[in-house]
Amino acid sequence: MNLLYFHHFLNHTARILVPHDCEQNPFRNILPQLAVTDDDLLGLLLAFSASHRARLLCHPEPANRIAVWVQDVFPRLRHALDSTEQISDSNLCTAIMLASLEVISPNAFEVPISWQSHLKLARQMIIARGGLRSLNREDKVAYFLSRWFAYLDVVGSLSGSKNDTPLDAGYLAVGEEECIRDGQIDCLLGFTNRFVGCLARIAELAKRCEPLRIDEASGCVREGWQPPEDVIAAAEQLRIDLRNGYKNVVYKGCTHGDRSTTSLRPEEVKEPPWDESEIYASNEAFHWAGLLHLLRRVLGRPPSDGEVQNAVREILKALERVRPDGSAGACLLFPMFSAGCDAQEEGQREKILERLSAVEGFGMSQVQRAREVVERVWASGRPWECEVRGEFFG
C-alpha cells in the first residue's frame, strides 16, 4: 500500500505542485530522493499523497494510516530545532512540507496545527541555519528548499494581515545571478526569481498600511485614507519593477534544460510548445496580481479605479492562455483570487468562478476556500482582508 501512495505522489501529486512539470521537477526527483533516506520525511510524503488521492477519489482520508506515518514527526522536528547540532536538509524539508500539506489538506492530522505555525517553524530553522543567504545555490537540495519556502513565505504573507511578514525582503538573492539579471522564469515558481523580492516588499508595505487603511470595527476602508509619502515612493518604485518584470523577460528555455539556448523573446520563438506559452502567461498573471495588491492594499485605490480594473482584465487575458486542466492552471490561484475579489463585471466573475471550479478538481482544498472568500467579498462588498479566516491563496 505504501508503494501505491509513493507512486501516486510521483505521478499525480508532484505534477500539480509546479506550473511547469518538466523532467527535473524537484517534487518528482529531489524530494523523493530525500524521503527514502529519512523515515519522517517519507511518512509525510506518503501522508501528503494519501490525503490528495482520497480527495481526488472523493474517499475519506485514511486518518489512522496517516497518524501512524507522522506520529514521530513533530517531536523530532522540535528536538532538531532545540538541538545544538546543525539542522539537516531533511529536517527543513519536513517543516516546509508540513506547511504545504496543511495548505492543501487542512486538518489532515489528529491535532490541528495551522500552516502558519508550520511555516513559522520552517522560518526558525532557516534562521538557525544562517538565513536564506547562507543557502548554497550550487546545492540542488538547498536551492529547491529555498525556492519552495520563499513561495510559501511571500504568498502566505500576502494572504492576510495577521500572517507574518516575509523572512527577508532580500529575496532577490534567491536564484542564480544570471537568472536574476535576465529575468529567467523559474519552473517551480511560475515567475521570475526577482519577482519574489517584489512580492516580499509588497507584503511588507501591505502589512504596514492595513491597520491604517481598514477600520477593524466596521471592516470598511477609512474614507479619504492616503498612504504616507515614504510608502508612496516605495510603491512607485515597485510599480516600475513590476512592469520591467513582465516586459523584459527573455526566452532561454526551461531553467532545468540546456542553458546555451540562444536568447529570444517569446514572440520570436517559432511554434513554441503549449507549456512554454503557459509559463509566460503565468509570469504575467502573477505580476499583474502583484500590481493589484500594490494598488489596492498599499496605494488605497478603490475597486473601480481604472488601473485596478485594467489589472483584472490583464489577469483574465493571461488565464485564457493557460489550460485549466494543466499543471500551470493548477498553480494560478493567487492571480485568480486577486482578480476575482476586484472583478466588477458579471462576465468577469463568471470566468473566475469557472477557472476556480476547474482547479478544485485537482484535489487541493485551498482552492475551494479561496472561492468561498471571493463569493463572500462579492456578497458583502467589503475588502477581502476582512473576510479571510486563515486561508492560503496560492
Choose the most confident range, by mean pLDDT, from 115-124, 162-171, 300-309: 300-309
* Residue 156 within any structural domain of the chain: no
Which among 107, 130, 153 is the end of a domain?
130
* Residue 137 within any structural domain of the chain: no
- Mean pLDDT value across the chain: 85
Quote the pTM value. Answer: 0.89
Residues 88 and 13 in one domain: yes
Domain that holds residue 313: 169-394
The predicted model gives 200-214 an average pLDDT of 91
What is the total count of domains within the chain?
2
Nearest alpha-carbon partner for 129 in 175, 87, 166: 87
The C-alpha cell of 245 is what? Answer: 518584470
Lowest-pLDDT range, 82-86, 199-203, 355-359? 82-86
Residues 182 and 287 in one domain: yes
The C-alpha cell of 5 is what? Answer: 501512495
Nearest alpha-carbon partner for 30 in 105, 93, 87, 82: 93
* Residue 231 within any structural domain of the chain: yes
Residues 303 and 209 in one domain: yes
* Residue 141 within any structural domain of the chain: no
* Residue 212 within any structural domain of the chain: yes
pLDDT tier at 253 (50, 70, 90 boundaries)? Answer: low
Strands of the chain, DSSP E: 214-215, 220-221
pLDDT in the model for residue 46: 95
Residues 257 and 315 in one domain: yes
9/17 Cα distance (integer angstroms): 10
Residues 81 and 179 in one domain: no
* Residue 71 within any structural domain of the chain: yes
91-111 pLDDT per residue, tens: 999 999 999 999 988 877 777
* Residue 91 within any structural domain of the chain: yes
134-191 pLDDT per residue, tens: 566 678 898 899 889 999 999 999 998 666 667 655 554 444 555 554 467 888 888 9
Lowest-pLDDT range, 61-75, 230-244, 284-298? 61-75
Residues 212 and 97 in one domain: no
Residues 99 and 222 in one domain: no
Residues 101 and 18 in one domain: yes
pLDDT tier at 259 (50, 70, 90 boundaries)? Answer: very low
130/153 Cα distance (integer angstroms): 17
Residues 383 and 314 in one domain: yes
Residues 112 and 212 in one domain: no
Residues 37 and 122 in one domain: yes
Which among 79, 113, 130 is the end of a domain?
130
Residues 126 and 242 in one domain: no
